[in-house]
Amino acid sequence: MTDQEIVDKVFDHFILQMTPPAVDPKGPGCYYHHEEYGCCVVGIFIDSKTGDDWDNDDLGSIDEIRDLHTEEYHQYFTDENLPLLIELQHWHDDDLRRLFQNEDEDLSDDRESRRATLAHRLSDFDHITVPSLDDHG
Helix (H) or strand (E) holding 67: helix 62-68
Which residues neighbour 105 within 8 Å (Cβ) at sequence distance 6 or greater? none
Q: What is the pLDDT of residues 27-77, one digit of tens each?
A: 656 778 777 777 888 989 998 888 888 877 766 789 988 998 899 999 999
Q: Which of 17-21, 25-29, 103-107 has the lowest mean pLDDT?
A: 103-107
pTM of the model: 0.86
17-48: string of b/e by CB count within 10 Å (b at 16+)?
eebebbbeeeeeebbbbbeebbbbbbbbbbee
pLDDT of residue 103: 55
Q: What is the pLDDT of residues 110-120, one digit of tens each?
A: 888 889 989 99
Q: Cα–Cα distance between 28 and 6 in angstroms, integer?
A: 24
* Beta bridge partner(s), residue 39: 33
Q: What is the pLDDT of residues 68-102, one digit of tens each?
A: 889 999 999 999 999 999 999 888 877 666 766 66
Residue predicted with more confidence, 10 or 98: 10
Sequence-separated contacts (24+) of 97-106 with Cβ below 8 Å: 97/21, 97/23, 100/20, 100/21
Span 16-28, mean pLDDT?
A: 72
Q: Cα–Cα distance between 117 and 103 in angstroms, integer?
A: 18
